[in-house]
Structure 1
């Protein structure tokens, strides 16, 4: 079997989720290893700024969001990861390398060039609406996968070679595809009863940033008061304090960390949380409208426009807006049904486009020449 190395970053869950989505699709055809070659300092830095200094994260994002500054950042970052990259490549001897992180693009190509290797390298963009300049610096990849129409257009405008740029969809982990195929009223009712919730109530799946970017407590209490027929599946992750706080609160199920997150999400009527693209596309795959409540400044601002443009849900950045919207959705079901129709339209397009990913990668592997020709 072929060996594929997927490079990602543990700074937030989004890059890892995409890496896992690719792994799920490729496992039958290859041995897959997912690796973050960065030092622990970068993980600590992200956790700290996402909890206590989002302004700093925004400043760093904006600082490197220009072609020459992005290139400087890549040149600084390359020697910091090159040793671990070389070790991984030497150990695995991969037939292909894929990245889901912009600061493992130029860095990889420089490492491969230094080792005089011609291993096919593939980049998967991880933004739906806008592309940070760090993605646009490296154009030598054997294939660049653009998961939305918007990013495909931006890459074309930036000068990516047409024969190595592919319009695909946004991949999600297999569990979401399975739940989308199996979802029905009976399954939903069983899950909600298991959680101690009422299958006849309007159900919200509420989640914030995996690194503590959103604070739940006050929001949950206020939202519950919007209507007596509203209930919340509260994704608390590893936050035991939050679990304990809502353990015995009526119409709330504090969901502890689980890797099978698609099951409770599929049981909800809407998905609500930070405007991260992976959670958005997981909701789309399940056919659920998304309610964006917050975002990482700079990095996720364009996601709000993407949600509005494609009518994938609503943007409610204040507690009053969220309260009012949920009240309307409970009392006027037609509003939800109308939004579900536009979500379904995008879901069908994205599913068809995402199915193209595996054939593209298989062709690159079989060509064995860096994939200069499109399949």
Structure 2
């Protein structure tokens, strides 16, 4: 259960989990359901559009409101979120009655909150797994009655334990990536130019166009821009006719995305959870040029605290981006320091494959059901 129909990390993680389940011996019938579309139909498009416009037009207000409502709470204060209950609880009950699922996996906080409320009131006993898609846990996520938690870091693991969650119910998986995004491979050496990916323009949000306009390629870096479904961005790049800036339209194949990562010496991106998780898996140097208000701001703070990414400064000025990237790529000391931080981060994650974790969790849930 993700939320909204926007092509977000919630959906990418859900798709990846479904692919992992398909790889197991047992057969699974999986279905993604967005509770907003299920409840209010076409109104979802209006909400999605308003959400994106809000972020663009009033970023500071959105950031303030998100922090106030979803992150910052007074000690021992539990927000009631009465509006969420009023709008969606009745429909969640209907959904469960209609689908009769054996397991529910939440990749967004809202359905997790609703299902947790229902379990606490004994409205249903269906096992629920939280799969967190950012590098923090906002206050909306349900915890008390959730059966398992797939968390992105040891910090979230510790936070859940403090909330009273049994450590055996928590798996430090990192943010799950699609199984076709394989671990990093050796990159091609002795190439005439460095290869740098640019992503973050899929939804038209952020400032990727400004970034590209100010690149001022010197000939030392070949840039590949992942435009996603942002047709305007793709057309803009095609019209530049710059041989050092290559535009890629939407790529549906995860294997193709994985290959592009393998060819890259670095990536310039926004701190969206899934993209960052893929880059951490591939051990690619990450350069953050912009963070959308709310979730991405908090993700960025996590990355900087852990030393897992670089902040691009003065990226609106011509030529500054390339200077900063080359400074890192041409420094063995900086590259080794980054690899040290990456090794430390990966050492904090479980060494067990997600397929194996899912197999064990499902077997345990099945045994509990029989018992």
Q: Shared topology, TM-score over 0.5?
A: yes
Go from structure 1 to structure 2 and tell me whether the alpha carbon gap of 1:327 and 1:36 turns closer, same or farther (over 3 Å shift).
same
Report the more deviating stretch, 113-122 or 143-152: 113-122
RMSD, matched Cα? 3.0
Go from structure 1 to structure 2 and tell me whether the alpha carbon gap of 1:32 and 1:200 turns closer, same or farther (over 3 Å shift).
farther
Q: 1:355-374 counterparts in 2 under 5 A? A: 355=354, 357-369=357-369
Q: Which runs of 5+ in 2 are unaligned?
A: 38-43
Go from structure 1 to structure 2 and tell me whether the alpha carbon gap of 1:70 and 1:369 turns closer, same or farther (over 3 Å shift).
same
Preserved contact between residue 286 and residue 308 of structure 2 (Cα < 8 Å)? yes
Aligned twin of 2:290? 294
Aligned twin of 1:123? 130
- Normalising by structure 1, we get a TM-score of 0.81
Task: Write the distance in 2 (CA, Å) between the matches of 1:168 and 1:315.
Answer: 25
Match of 2:302 among 292, 306, 317: 306
Structure 1 residue 149 displacement after superposition = 0.2
Go from structure 1 to structure 2 and tell me whether the alpha carbon gap of 1:109 and 1:341 turns closer, same or farther (over 3 Å shift).
closer
Go from structure 1 to structure 2 and tell me whether the alpha carbon gap of 1:286 and 1:255 turns closer, same or farther (over 3 Å shift).
same
Task: Write the distance in 2 (CA, Å) between the matches of 1:270 and 1:214.
Answer: 20
State the Cα deviation string for residues 282-309 of structure 1 (Å, max 9, x = none). Answer: 0011121211111123423332232233
More strand by share: 1
Aligned twin of 1:243? 234
Match of 2:278 among 274, 279, 282: 282
Preserved contact between residue 201 and residue 230 of structure 2 (Cα < 8 Å)? no
Aligned twin of 1:146? 151
Go from structure 1 to structure 2 and tell me whether the alpha carbon gap of 1:243 and 1:146 turns closer, same or farther (over 3 Å shift).
closer
State the Cα deviation string for residues 165-224 of structure 1 (Å, max 9, x = none). Answer: 4433331111212xx36x455xx69xxxxxxxx953111111125332222233223324
Task: Write the distance in 2 (CA, Å) between the matches of 1:215 and 1:25.
Answer: 34
Report the more deviating stretch, 242-251 or 311-320: 311-320
For this pair of structures, how many residues does the alignment match? 349
Query: What is the SS of the residue equivalent to 2:180?
Result: helix
Preserved contact between residue 3 and residue 108 of structure 2 (Cα < 8 Å)? yes
Structure 1 residue 323 displacement after superposition = 3.7
Structure 1 residue 121 displacement after superposition = 1.4
Does structure 1 residue 13 correspond to structure 2 residue 8?
yes
Q: Which runs of 5+ in 1 are unaligned?
A: 1-5, 190-197
Aligned twin of 2:263? 267
Aligned twin of 1:104? 111
State the Cα deviation string for residues 214-260 of structure 1 (Å, max 9, x = none). Answer: 222332233243x3211111111222332222222121111101122
Go from structure 1 to structure 2 and tell me whether the alpha carbon gap of 1:306 and 1:113 turns closer, same or farther (over 3 Å shift).
closer
Query: What is the SS of the residue equivalent to 1:62?
Result: helix
State the Cα deviation string for residues 1-52 of structure 1 (Å, max 9, x = none). Answer: xxxxx44444561211221222122123422111111140432332222332
Aligned twin of 1:176? 181
Does structure 1 residue 25 correspond to structure 2 residue 16?
no
Go from structure 1 to structure 2 and tell me whether the alpha carbon gap of 1:354 and 1:274 turns closer, same or farther (over 3 Å shift).
farther
Report the more deviating stretch, 140-149 or 332-341: 332-341
Q: 1:40-55 counterparts in 2 under 5 A? A: 40=44, 41-55=46-60
Go from structure 1 to structure 2 and tell me whether the alpha carbon gap of 1:317 and 1:295 turns closer, same or farther (over 3 Å shift).
farther
Aligned twin of 2:207? 215
Task: Write the distance in 1 (CA, Å) between the matches of 2:48 and 2:201.
Answer: 15
Preserved contact between residue 132 and residue 152 of structure 2 (Cα < 8 Å)? yes
Does structure 1 residue 234 correspond to structure 2 residue 225?
yes
Task: Write the distance in 2 (CA, Å) between the matches of 1:332 and 1:221.
Answer: 26
Does structure 1 residue 35 correspond to structure 2 residue 33?
yes
